[in-house]
Amino acid sequence: MALPNIFNKDITEKVIQRIDNLKVDTQPNWGKMNVSEMLAHCNVTYEMVYENKHPKPNFFMKVMMKSFVKKIVTSETPYKHNAQTAPAFKIKNSRNFETEKIRLIGYINKTQKLGASNFDNKESHSFGKLSVNEWNNMFYKHLDHHLNQFGV
């Protein structure tokens, strides 16, 4: 079953409505992150696309990521609860809820406005070139997983 298309404005708006339902004290249904850390964690995906703040994996790590992690991240299969988090996605310091929320909504809107064609065969940070469907699955699945984690 295909995941909702994050490049579609209606889907983007629904995801943003879910984010807007979060409060600074929203508690997770599972996991160790608080809501501010979760928003910062979700921002990392977009930082890897739009900013140059995360070092790219070396050749060996990229081969490993493409061989063992890419399918987990880009397929339609939902993530398991409490799955291992990649080191770059671990939030190690406290974050401001409103700041992280505004950043995430900005990234989601930017991605939608750029559109699917911008991501067709675009090089990813860790997995090489991805199809539009793989980009969509990566973006949507990760957001949906964490929004479900916080009950929205």
Structure-token pair, residue 124: 């990813």
Maximum alpha-carbon separation in the chain: 41
CA atoms of 113 and 91, how far apart (whole Å): 28
Q: At 133, phi and psi to the nearest 5?
A: -65, -40
pTM reported for the whole predicted model: 0.95
Tokens 């957001």 appear where? Answer: 143
The C-alpha atoms of residue 38 and residue 103 are separated, in whole angstroms, by 12
Give pLDDT, residue 141.
98
> In tens digits, what is the pLDDT along the chain, a chain of 152 residues?
699 999 999 999 999 999 999 999 999 999 999 999 999 999 999 999 999 999 999 999 999 999 999 999 999 999 999 888 988 999 999 999 999 999 999 999 999 999 999 999 999 999 999 999 999 999 999 999 999 999 99
